Amino acid sequence: MTTFQIGLLYVSAAFLLFFSGVPIAFALGSVALLFMFIFMPAANIGMIAQTFYGELNNFTLLAIPLFVLMGAAIGKTRAAVDLYESTHRWLYRLPGGLGVANVAGCAIFAAMCGSSPATCAAIGGMGIPAMRRRGYSPELAAGLIAAGGTLGILIPPSITLIIYGIITEQSIGRLFMAGVVPGVMLAVFFALWVVYASVREKRRMLAGMDPAQVAQLPPEERFSWRERFETIPRLLPFVALIVVVMAAMYGGWATPSEVAGVGAFGALLMVVLVYRVYHWREFKDILSGAARESCMIMMIIATAFLFTYVMSYLHITQSATEWLVSLPLSKWAYLFWVNVLLVVLGFFLPPVAIILMVTPVILPGLQAHGFDLIWYGVIMTILMEMGLIHPPVGLNLFVINGIAPDITFKQIIYGVLPFLVIMLLSIVLLAVFPQIVMWLPDHMYGK
């Protein structure tokens, strides 16, 4: 068989298992093992355990379970409720203030836990019913939370950027700083859309109602300055934890893994001292949830490394790279088609699997065309964010469907469409003005 035929068979077998419902880690590992038995010498089979250990024996990877633990400590306590209520009280006077508060809550919570599904579940569980009561359409309420949750993989700490940095051998610190300004920019764009959409919906709703129906609407919420300032003590622990983590990370005082340890310890200390989480049952929920998610991610990483090792041994990666580089495409045409490939893969695969499988193939082409890999890490992460909210396998869509079963899947999809357009336009903006991404890392680390 030719290399092309083996490669086509290899990738097809993997996708066949993905579509059959086999977990990503087991699908990648099974296909890799099968092709090792068929096409590789028997001596390579004995290298499987060493390959697993060698790839996972990376100090940088320690940041993943620690950041997951940090997010679990916050997500499984009243911390999310306090965060949501505080932002709502301060932003309620804005047009569409409740929606903007949900965007702010998603952004802050995402910055602390780094998990998109956790952000959707924590903020959406409170935010969607509140928005529905205030007249927000099911589409806007669901789309806002689904899209806001994706900020968790762009605003640092980001597990996606950690994995991308390991694969491309780029500085995790520079990648984290590169994600800050685009992450805030996306949050602002989301908030602006929510303001426009909520005001438009309210006008349409009032236009179709008679005075008696208008009188039956629930009164507008009002919060005095005293009630707003009452929330500050509840926000201070979050602010303190964010400041400590960001100062240690951006000040160069610690590596990302060490920062993750500080963040995890700080989050556990916060839930003990502030939220009185003393009982073993509560700690068990935090630790078991963190362990499950960490094991899932690390298994995907381990089997994906084995999958790419087999691809490399069989010269599938090299052949695909040579073919991509040899295509008569301009710099920006190459970037366009690579991004289209990532969007298509996002229909079926989670971000971690896409980065681990595809990055080794597209990396040489990106370098040959002169793209900055730190800059492209942010572009790729936004594309992965889109994959979390577009069908058929957008994970956040199913999370929203689970916490708000009265909203149909069709309504959720319609709700996320404007946010997908915003993400696409943001990618174009970052391509035209790459300094939006590169200014902060260049300022902190130098060019």
DSSP H helices in 116-255: 116-133, 138-149, 159-168, 172-207, 211-215, 225-229, 232-250
Residue 308 confidence (pLDDT): 79
Q: What is the total count of domains within the chain? A: 1
Q: Collect all residues with Cβ–Cβ distance below 8 Å to 430 and sequence separation of at least 6.
A: 182, 375, 378, 379, 382, 436, 437
Considering only 54-68, 82-96, 275-289, 336-350, which range has the smallest mean pLDDT?
A: 82-96
Highest mean pLDDT among 81-90, 124-133, 425-434: 425-434
What pLDDT band is residue 419 in, cutting at 50, 70 and 90?
very high
Highest mean pLDDT among 109-123, 211-225, 292-306, 377-391: 377-391
Residue 114 confidence (pLDDT): 65
Residue 136, CA distances (Å) to 66, 199, 202 in order: 37, 10, 8
- Closest to 385 measured CA to CA, from 161, 99, 97: 161
Is residue 357 within 8 A of residue 77, CB to CB? The reply is: no
- Closest to 147 measured CA to CA, from 441, 339, 357, 426: 426
Calculate mean pLDDT across residues 132-160.
84
What pLDDT band is residue 14 in, cutting at 50, 70 and 90?
confident
- Helix, strand, coil percentages in the chain from 3-state DSSP, rounded to 5: 80, 0, 20
Residue 420 confidence (pLDDT): 92
Calculate mean pLDDT across residues 352-381.
88
Answer whether residue 110 shows pLDDT above 80: no
Of residues 8 and 235, more confidently modeled: 8
- Both tokens assigned to 359: 């990055």
Answer whether residue 90 shows pLDDT above 60: yes
Is residue 110 within 8 A of residue 67, CB to CB? The reply is: no
Residue 398, exposed/middle/buried by CB under 10 A (0-12, 13-18, 19+)?
Answer: middle
- Both tokens assigned to 59: 């100090």
Residue at 14: amino acid letter:
A
Q: Which domain holds residue 263?
A: 3-445
Across all residues in the chain, what is the average pLDDT?
81
The Cα 245–Cα 254 span in angstroms is 10
Residue 278 confidence (pLDDT): 78
Over pLDDT 70: what percentage of the chain? 91
Answer whether residue 205 shows pLDDT above 70: no
Calculate mean pLDDT across residues 183-207.
84
Answer whether residue 398 shows pLDDT above 80: no
Go through the chain and tell me how many residues it has: 447
Q: Collect all residues with Cβ–Cβ distance below 8 Å to 118 and sequence separation of at least 6.
A: 71, 72, 75, 109, 152
| Other residues' Cβ atoms within 10 Å of the Cβ of residue 327 | 10
Residue at 209: amino acid letter:
M
The Cα 13–Cα 116 span in angstroms is 29
Please, what sign has the CA dihedral across residues 379, 396, 148, 156?
negative
Residue 422 confidence (pLDDT): 94
The Cα 160–Cα 149 span in angstroms is 14
Please, what sign has the CA dihedral across residues 5, 6, 9, 10?
negative
Considering only 57-66, 84-93, 264-273, 433-442, which range has the smallest mean pLDDT?
A: 84-93
Report pLDDT digits (tens) over 256-287.
778 778 888 888 888 888 778 778 887 888 88
| Other residues' Cβ atoms within 10 Å of the Cβ of residue 30 | 16
Residue 208 confidence (pLDDT): 64
What pLDDT band is residue 392 in, cutting at 50, 70 and 90?
low
Over pLDDT 90: what percentage of the chain? 11
Tell me the backbone φ, ψ of residue 214, rounded to 5 degrees.
Answer: -65, -40
The Cα 405–Cα 385 span in angstroms is 23
Calculate mean pLDDT across residues 233-242.
76
Q: What is the SS3 assignment for 282-348?
A: HHHHHHHHHHHHHHHHHHHHHHHHHHHHHHHHCCHHHHHHHHHHHCCCCHHHHHHHHHHHHHHHHCC
Residue 432 confidence (pLDDT): 93
The Cα 222–Cα 38 span in angstroms is 69
Residue 216 confidence (pLDDT): 58
Q: Collect all residues with Cβ–Cβ distance below 8 Å to 396 and sequence separation of at least 6.
A: 116, 117, 120, 146, 147, 149, 150, 388, 389
What pLDDT band is residue 185 in, cutting at 50, 70 and 90?
very high
- The alpha carbons of the chain give a radius of gyration, in whole angstroms, of 23
Residue 429 confidence (pLDDT): 95
Residue 378 confidence (pLDDT): 94
